[in-house]
Amino acid sequence: MKLKGRAIFEGKAEGQALVSSSPMSFYGGVNPDTGEIVERGSELAGQTVKGKVLVFPHGKGSTVGSYVLYRLAKNGVAPSAIVNAKCETIVAVGAIISEIPCVDMVDVRKIKPGVRVSVDGATLEF
Amino acid sequence: MHLTKEEEAMLAGEQGHATRIAMQILVALGKIYDAERLVKVSSVQVSGVSYKNLGDAGLEFLTELASDGKARVKTTLNPAGMSLTDWKSQGIDSGFAEKQLQVIDAYRKLGVEITCTCTPYLAGNEPSFGQHIAWGESSAVAYANSVIGARTNREGGPSALAASLTGRTPLYGLHVSENRVPTIAVDVEAQLSLPEDFSAMGYFVGREAKDGIPYFRGVRRAGLEDLKTLSAALASSGGVAMFHLEGLTPEYGMGAKNLEALTFTGKELAETNALLNDEGAPDFVSIGCPHCSLTELATLAKLLDGRRVRREFWVCCSREVKRQGDEAGYSKLIEASGAKFALDTCMVVAPVEELGYKVVSTNSAKACHYLRNAGLKVRFMPLEECVAEATRKD
């Protein structure tokens, strides 16, 4: 299937979809050294974002979360791409400064966990 | 989004690497929030200073920007994770201190004034009514929009810095008049006699209002200290970036017709006070979240005069307000009691949980919120009772 969204940070990437149905907080929610999701109550707790196409509705929590994305990238454990229903400041800024391809305005419910997703600019294919 | 020729040049990298990254951030935000253009700002307050939050990657990012970036408008800085001069006596480890000072050096190189305060409006960064600004620090954002009538969204560290490096921010959200109207009314029936009552009210209303704009009815007077702590509390339990006080704040005239209304009575006040009190005897007392005003230093000096503090007691304020306190003779009385000034930092951004304290007594609902998140127990009480706790013989 092909979905066209809006590119927040343009780039090409691919990976397995890691899908959260609830909003994600990076500050306090993801370990910046390992990429492990540590947010209490998250359906993805214990999984790693490393190399995944991370799919979630939108970001939440502290704006320091942008720097957590940057730390993940510097530590080599960042997601390969981010897909949101509606991107907000924390994730957008984090994606730009970390150079992680980021697309929003897509129906994220169509992306099933575990499928292989490729991202190219504003287009997703899986 | 429409960009001017100069803005296009910034985006193309013609004015350097840092300006380019800054412009990329602003353009992406403009796209997300449907801004039609950028608007020039006159003042910036940058958050994202404590090394505790930035880590090595944040430090690296700032160092990279500082290689060719420069602030284009007045830019001040949020508190750091320690006092920049007296970190040793605060018990801060030298590894942390070294990194924190590197963060400060990067900001200095970027042309940011090293004010290290969450109350820039008490330390020389004073925008006026109607001006577009780009501020991080949620309590200062709520204060600037609501009390001063300047216009800012809730910026994060990088987006505020991007505004500083370009002198611009996307025109959306609270920069636009129609988005500054109230979304929820609050009928205040509780007797608000202390700043701490405003703090508790803010904590209660923030949870209900989320990121809306509350319109308070029934508050007859509010001083700077009341408004400062109300702003902080609203922005910590919720995402409030602006509020109106009927008859008191500059833009209340828009009115609040046909809005859903909350009621804040003595019962809600008592329940919020109870909610912010854990079990346990305080081993750490801290005042100044947001950073103390000169009036608060005067009150503290009076309460502490001739008394002896028996627990770690931090008085958090900006260097500017401390200097005014020195001149007025307040600082001497405060320090003579054994209380310590915590300049450049505060109990929320310093790694207090790593200093071995367990239960913190404070007069700020915002501080209670964040200290609890850091794993500490909290006791919320009025300033006078904080002093009583600090001076109590066991």
Segment B131-161, tens digit of pLDDT:
999 999 999 999 999 999 999 999 989 999 9
For A96, other C-beta atoms within 10 Å of its C-beta total: 24
Task: Express as a percent the part of chain A with pLDDT over 90.
Answer: 79
Retrieve residue B104's tokens: 């400060």
How many degrees, rounded to 5, is the angle at CA B150 between CA B68 and CA A94? 40
What element of type H or E holds A102? strand A102-104
Q: What is the tens place of the pLDDT at every residue in B2-36? A: 999 999 999 999 999 999 999 999 999 999 999 99
Q: Is A63 close to B156, i.e. CB distance below 8 A? A: yes
Residue of B nearest to A93 (CA): B25
Chain B residues whose CB is inside 8 A of the A6 CB are 31
How many degrees, rounded to 5, is the angle at CA B121 between CA B156 and CA B372? 55
B217 pLDDT more than 90: yes
Complex confidence, ipTM: 0.84
What element of type H or E holds B230? helix B224-237
Chain A residues whose CB is inside 8 A of the B48 CB are 63-64, 67
Contact A97, B25 (CB under 8 A): yes
pTM of the model: 0.92
A54 pLDDT more than 80: yes
Contact B355, B336 (CB under 8 A): no
Write down the pLDDT at residue A6. Answer: 94
Contact B345, B267 (CB under 8 A): no
pLDDT level of residue B351 (50, 70, 90 thresholds): confident
**A62 is annotated as an active-site residue:** yes
- Among A20, A22, A25, A62, the active-site one is A62
Strands A123-125 and A2-4, sheet pairing: antiparallel
State whether residue B158 sits within 8 Å of chain A by CB: yes
Q: What is the tens place of the pLDDT at every residue in A6-18? A: 999 999 999 999 9
pLDDT mean over A86-100: 92
Backbone angles phi, psi at B169, to 5 degrees: -150, 155
Strands A123-125 and A116-120, sheet pairing: antiparallel
Q: What is the tens place of the pLDDT at every residue in B241-277? A: 999 999 999 999 987 889 999 999 999 999 999 999 9
How many degrees, rounded to 5, is the angle at CA B336 between CA B332 and CA B340? 85
Residues near B272 by Cβ (< 8 Å), separated by ≥ 6? B200, B201, B203, B204, B365
Retrieve residue B14's tokens: 């013609």
Q: What is the tens place of the pLDDT at every residue in B295-343? A: 999 999 999 999 999 999 999 999 999 999 999 999 999 999 999 999 9
Picking from A22-26, A98-102, B359-363, which range would have the lowest pLDDT averaged per residue? A22-26
In angstroms, the separation between the Cα of residue B328 and the nearest Cα of chain A is 37
For B73, other C-beta atoms within 10 Å of its C-beta total: 18
Closest of B327, B22, B290 to residue B158, by C-alpha: B22
